[in-house]
Chains A and B, each alone.
Chain A
Amino acid sequence: MAFISSGYNPEKPMENRITDIGPRKYDEFYPPVIAKNKGQWLYHEILQPGVLVHVAKSGDEVYTVRCGGARLMTTSLINEICDLADKHCGGYVRWTTRNNIEFMVDNKSKVQPLIDDLSGRKFDGGSFKFPIGGTGAGVSNIVHTQGWIHCHTPATDASGPVKAVMDEVFADFQSHRMPAPVRVSLACCLNMCGAVHCSDIAILGYHRKPPMLDHEYLDKMCEIPLAIASCPTAAIKPAKVEINGQKLNSVAVNNDRCMYCGNCYTMCPSMPLADKEGDGIVIMAGGKVSNRISAPKFSKVVVAFIPNEAPRWPTASKVIKNMIDVYASDARKYERLGDWAERIGWERFFEKCEIDFTHHLIDDFRDPAYYTWRQTTQFKF
C-alpha cells in the first residue's frame, strides 16, 4: 500500500494545524421540520412499538422510526443507513442515547414505505439489520462497552453477551408489555463505563483472583505509589523482592484484602489479573436515572457470579430473561424494576426470581455498608 498524504507535513508538524474547533454545530444537521419547530412541540404519541409522532404548534408533524443498532458497526452499515436516510428522510438521520438509530419523516404517507424497507433488511447470517422497536414500556437497546474488542482491563466481553441477551429478550424490544421501561446495560469491568450502576438490569464483568505480580518489570513499568493508591481496600504495599539474585523494588498484595477490582492493573501493567475460570459476570438490578415518582436509584448486586460462557452466555441470558418475565407479571403499571423490588421487599424479590441469596450480596465496604443491613423488625417470611 502506497502512503497517501492528507497534506499534513511531518517535517513541520505545527504548520497549518487547526485546533479547538470542537464538534460541528447541532443545527447544521437538523432535518427541516426539526429546525422549523424546535422548541414548539406540543405533544407526542407512540403509534406502535418503534414508531413515534411529534406534533408541533404549527400543526407540523414528525414521524420517527427507531431501530436497534449493534453500536459496534462498520462503514458498510453506516453507508446503508445513509442510503435509507437519503431515500426516505431527505438525507437526515440520528442516533439515540441508547445507540438506537432514528429515521424521521415529515409526513404520515412516508412512514409505511420506510418501515417496509427497514424491516426487510437482513444480514447474510439472518439477523435483522434494522429491527424496529425500543419505545415505551419495553426493553430497549443495551448500553455497553468495549470488552474483548478493544479494551485491556475487561473481565468479560461486551458485544457478545449483548447480542446473546438481546436475542433472548428480542420480543420485548418490539413490544410494550412491560410495566415500565426496562433498561439493561453492560460493563466489562467495574470501571463501569456507561450505565451499569443505574440500570434496571445490569451485567458487570468481574474478576475473582488477585493480580499476578510481574516483579521483574514492575518497578520499570509502574509508578509504584500510584498502584498503591489505586486500591480501595489498601491491599497493596511496597515491597523489596529478590529475583535471580537481584534486589528489586516491587509491591506485595495482601490477598485477604483484595476483592479483584483490577484498578491496580489499570495503573500498573505489571499486575495483570484476567483469568479464564476466575472471570465472569455479576448481575445487578433495580437502578434508574429518571426522577419519575421515585428518586434515581443505584442498581444492586443480585447474582454474585455467573461464569463467562462464550459465545452465547446462556446462564446469564436465562437469569435476565427470567427476571424480566417475573417483573413483568408481578409489578404494577409504571413501576420500574427497582420500585417493584423495594415495594415487595428484596427478600420477596429473591424468592420470586428464584435467585439464591449468598453472602457475597451483603455489603461490607466501609461505613456505608451498615446502612444496607436491616435495622427493623419489618420483614417478610
Chain B
Amino acid sequence: MAKHETPMLDQLESGPWPSFVSDLKQQAEKRAKNKEGIEFQIPTDVVEDLLGILELSFKHGRTHWKHGGIVGVFGYGGGVIGRYCDQPQAFPGVAHFHTMRIAQPGGKFYTTAFLRQLCDLWDLRGSGITNMHGSTGDVILLGTTTPQLEEIFFELTHKMNQDLGGSGSNLRTPADCIGQARCEYACYDTQDLCYDLTQEYQDELHRPAFPYKFKFKFDGCPNCCVASIARSDLSFIGTWKDDIKIDQEAVQAYIGGELKPNAGAHSSRDWGKFDIQKEVIGRCPTECMAMDGNTLKINNRECTRCMHCINVMPRALRIGDERGLSIFAGAKAPILDGAQMGTLVVPFIEAEAPYTKIKETVIEPLWDWWMEEGKNRERMGELMKRQGLQRVIEVLGVDPDPRMVQEPRSNPYIFWKEDEVEGGFERDINEFRKYHQR
C-alpha cells in the first residue's frame, strides 16, 4: 500500500516510454520490503515521500522545494546541491533531499562492478534515486541528508577511488563524446584530453575561484555529439588540416547501391536510389566536390570540414591524417545577456599528450584574463562581448585571423591604439589654431 495517493502520477505509468513513476514505485516497494536487511541511513520511505510531493506539485502547478541550500564536504566549495522541501511535516522523508554530483568516467563507460558498488553505497546512505546523467555529465545521486554527505564522500574516495563533480563558480565537470573509443570520425582522443584536463585542474573544479561557472567539453569532430559548441565556455572540436581520404571503389559501391548512404540512418523510408550528385556534391556547403568520370574529386583547399560527405559515405571517405582541434570560447545559455555559441578563437592546435600548449597558451591565459576582469557572475562569453574579441586575441597573443569572424564589421566605429597612429593622441589646440582660425 503506497503511503500517498498519486492519481496524476499514476497516469504516467501507461504508454511505451520507460516510466520514471513505475521505476520510483518499484524502488519504494523494494525499500519497504528491504529483503536484504539494509540499515537505511535516511528515511526508508524517502521515495514514497518524493512521489507524494511530486504529486502535490502536479496538483499545485508549482515546485515544492525551498530556495537554495548550502551544504557540502570539508575541503571543497562545491559538488553537492542542497535541497529542502517546503512541506517537511507532510513529507518528512524528503525534508533533506540533497544531490551529490559524482565525476563520471570518460565516454560514460562503466563496469558493472563499479556501478553495483555505487548502487550499494547509495542504497544504504541515500534515496537510491539517480540521474544517469546530469546535463554536464556527472552521475547524479538524487536525495540524501546532510549527516550522510561526509560519510558518502569518505566511502567514495576511500573505497571507490572516486571524487565528486563540480558545482558553483568554478570549473564544472568536463565531458566528452565517445571519441576514438568507438568512432571513426574522432580527430583526437577526447577521453584522454578530458581526463588530463580534469585531473590537471582539480583545484579549480573543487574550490570556486572564478567570477562564475566555467565548462569544458570535448568533441572529436564537427558533428559535436557532446554539443560542446553550445554548452561549454571552452569547446574543443576535433578537425584535420590535410586531405579527406577517398576510397574510389567504395564511392562506386555507394553509387551502385551496395552500400547504404549515411550508414543506413534513413532506412525506414524510401528516399529513392542514392544520388551522389544530389545528396553529397549538391549539398556540399562550399561546392568543392565533383565527379570526374567515375572519380570523386574534392578540392580540399576549399573544404570547411563540415562532415556532411563523410557522414553520408563513411566507408568511402575518411578524415585526414594531420589532426588536431579547434577551440571555441564563450558558449552559454541566455541569462543574462542572451544565449551564445562558442566563438572560434584557435583555428587549429595539436592535441597530443601532455597537452602543454593547450594549457599554457590557451586555457590559462584566458582564465587569467577572465578571473581578473570578469564581473561577478559574468560568463566568459559575456566578458568577450563587453571587452571585445580583440581583447581575446591580445590575451592569447595571436595575430587576428579572418577565420575568427563570420564577416568583418559593417559599422565604422573603429578603435585604434595610440601607438598605431603617427604622432599619438596628445595634441595642442593652439598648434591647430595656427592654421585654423576660430
Pair A176/B264 contact, Cβ less than 8 Å: yes
Chain A residues positioned under 8 Å from B65 (CB to CB)? 148, 150-152
Cα(A196)–Cα(B231), bound, Å: 10
Closest CB in chain A relative to B90 CB, distance in Å = 15
Q: Shortest Cβ distance from B71 into chain A, in angstroms?
A: 14
In contact, B20 and A72 (Cβ under 8 angstroms) = yes
Any B CB within 8 A of the CB of A135? yes
Contact with A along B102-119 (1 / 0, CB 8 A): 011111111111111001
Q: Is A240 an interface residue (CB 8 A)?
A: no
Chain B 130-141 interface 0/1 with A at a Cβ cutoff of 8 Å (1 = within): 111101000000
Is B116's CB under 8 angstroms from A82's CB?
A: yes
CA distance A25 to B57 in the complex (A): 40
Residues of B211-235 contacting chain A, CB below 8 A:
222-227, 229-231
Q: Which of B174-182, B289-297, B348-356, B387-395 contacts A (4 or more CB under 8 A)?
A: B174-182
> Which of A78, A152, A292 makes the CB contact (< 8 A) with B115?
A78
State which of B57, B129, B268, B315 has its C-beta within 8 Å of the C-beta of A176.
B268
Which A residue's beta carbon lies closest to that of B135? A194
Q: Which of B18, B106, B111 contacts A91 (CB 8 A)?
A: B111
Taking CB atoms, residues of chain B closer than 8 Å to A289 are: 224, 227, 229-231
> Please, which residue of chain A has its CB at the minimum distance from the CB of B126?
A75
Known: A75-B122, A197-B230. A293 touches B15 (CB 8 A): no
Closest chain A CB from B203 CB (angstroms): 7
| Residues of chain A contacted by B13 (CB below 8 angstroms) | 123-127
**Residue A370 is within 8 A (CB to CB) of chain B in the complex:** no
B421 sits at the interface (CB 8 A): no
A20 in contact with B202 (CB, 8 Å) = yes
Bound complex: CA A87 to CA B333 (Å):
42
Q: Tell me the chain B residues, 179-214 only, with Cβ under 8 Å from chain A.
A: 180-184, 186, 189, 191-192, 194-195, 198-199, 202-203, 205-206
CB distance from A177 to the nearest CB of B (A): 4
The reply to whether B18 and A70 form a contact with Cβ atoms under 8 Å apart is: yes
Question: 0/1 per residue, A133-152, Cβ < 8 Å to B?
Answer: 00111100001010111111
Let me know if A21 is at the binding interface, CB within 8 A: yes
Q: Mark A176-188, 1 if CB is under 8 A from B, else 0.
A: 1111010000000
**Shortest distance in angstroms between B237's beta carbon and chain A's nearest beta carbon?**
8
Q: Are B158 and A136 in contact (CB under 8 A)?
A: no
A187 to chain B minimum Cβ distance, whole angstroms, is: 8
Assess the A29–B114 pair: CB atoms within 8 A.
yes
User: Given contacts A149-B50, A293-B306, is CB(A4)–CB(B109) below 8 Å?
Assistant: no
Are B335 and A263 neighbours in the complex by a CB distance under 8 Å? yes
Q: Is the beta-carbon distance between B105 and A129 smaller than 8 angstroms?
A: no
Q: Are A160 and B25 in contact (CB under 8 A)?
A: no
CB of B248 closer than 8 Å to a CB of A: no
Does the CB pair A22–B24 fall under 8 Å? no
Binds A, one of B149-157, B365-373, B412-420: B149-157
Tell whether A127 pairs with B269 under 8 Å between CB atoms, given A82-B115, A229-B376: no
Q: Does B27 interact with chain A (Cβ within 8 Å)? A: yes
* Whole-angstrom CA separation of A24 from B163 in the bound complex: 8
Q: Is the CB of B285 within 8 A of A293?
A: yes
Q: Does A159 reach chain B (CB closer than 8 Å)?
A: yes
What are the residues of chain A within 8 A of B264 when measuring CB–CB? 45-47, 136, 176
Given contacts A95-B132, A290-B224, A293-B306, whether A170 and B17 have CB atoms under 8 Å apart is yes
CA distance A149 to B158 in the complex (A): 30
Name the residue of chain B whose CB is nearest to the CB of A363: B338
| Inter-chain contact A274/B14, CB cutoff 8 Å | no
Whether A39 lies near B14 (C-beta < 8 A) is no
A136 interface neighbour in B161, B205, B262, B285, Cβ under 8 Å: B262
Chain B: minimal CB distance from A134 (Å):
11
Q: Which residues of B contact A293 (CB under 8 A)?
A: 283-285, 306, 308
- B298: CB under 8 A from chain A? no
One digit per residue, 1 when the CB lies within 8 angstroms of any chain B CB and 0 when it does not, for chain A 302-322 equals 000000101110000000000
Interface flag for B266 (CB, 8 Å): yes
User: Provided the pairs A73-B20, A91-B113, A292-B311 are in contact, do residues A54 and B182 lie with their beta carbons within 8 angstroms?
Assistant: yes
- Looking at A5-13, A109-117, A350-358, A373-381, the stretch in contact with chain B turns out to be A5-13
Candidates A41, A64, A157, A291; contact of B58 at CB < 8 Å: A157
Which of A1, A6, A42 has the most chain B CB within a 10 Å cutoff?
A6
Q: Are B199 and A41 in contact (CB under 8 A)?
A: no
Write the nearest CB–CB distance from B257 to chain A, whole angstroms. Answer: 15
Q: Could you tell me if B222 and A292 are in contact, using CB atoms closer than 8 angstroms?
A: yes
Evaluate contact between B109 and A26: CB separation under 8 angstroms: yes
Given A160-B58, A311-B8, A311-B58: A81 and B124 interface contact (C-beta under 8 Å): no
CB distance from A357 to the nearest CB of B (A): 22
- Contact check, A333 vs B266: say whether CB atoms are below 8 A apart: yes
Q: A24-B162, A72-B20, A176-B269 are in contact. Are A167 and B155 (CB under 8 A)?
A: no
B99 proximal to A (CB < 8 A): yes
Q: Which residue of B lies closest to A312 (CB)?
A: B11
Q: Are A191 and B112 closer than 8 Å at their CB atoms?
A: no
Most interface-central of B50, B181, B184 (chain A CB within 10 A): B181
- Which listed residue (B12, B231, B377) contacts A160, Cβ 8 A? B12
Q: Is the CB of B339 within 8 A of A192?
A: yes
Are the C-beta atoms of B110 and A29 separated by less than 8 Å? yes
1/0 contact string of B76-115 vs chain A (CB within 8 Å): 1000010100000000000001010001111111111111
CB distance from B98 to the nearest CB of A (A): 9
Q: Tell yes or no: B424 within 8 A of A by CB.
A: no
Chain B residues with CB below 8 A from A298, complex form: 339, 341
Do A265 and B67 contact each other (CB < 8 Å), given the known contacts A41-B184, A292-B308, A293-B285? Answer: yes
Q: Contacts A25-B105, A274-B63, A298-B339 given: A20-B40 contact, CB under 8 Å?
A: no
- Given A130-B18, A229-B376: A26 and B195 within 8 A (CB)? yes
Report whether B306 and A292 are in contact in the complex, using a CB–CB cutoff of 8 Å.
yes
Select one of A21, A43, A149, A179 contacting B163, CB under 8 A: A21
From B130, B135, B335, give the contact of A261 (CB < 8 A): B335
The 0/1 profile, CB within 8 Å of B marked 1, for residues 276-306 of chain A is: 1101000000000111111010100000000
When distances are taken between beta carbons in the complex, the residues of chain A under 8 Å from B308 are 292-293, 334
A-B contact pairs, 15 of them (CB 8 A): A5-B151, A6-B150, A6-B152, A17-B74, A23-B106, A41-B183, A43-B263, A46-B264, A81-B115, A97-B177, A125-B19, A148-B62, A176-B264, A291-B223, A312-B12
Given A137-B262, A294-B285, 8 further pairs, Cβ under 8 A: A17-B74, A74-B24, A75-B122, A77-B26, A78-B130, A147-B63, A296-B224, A334-B312
| 3 A-B pairs with least C-beta separation | A125-B13, A26-B106, A136-B265
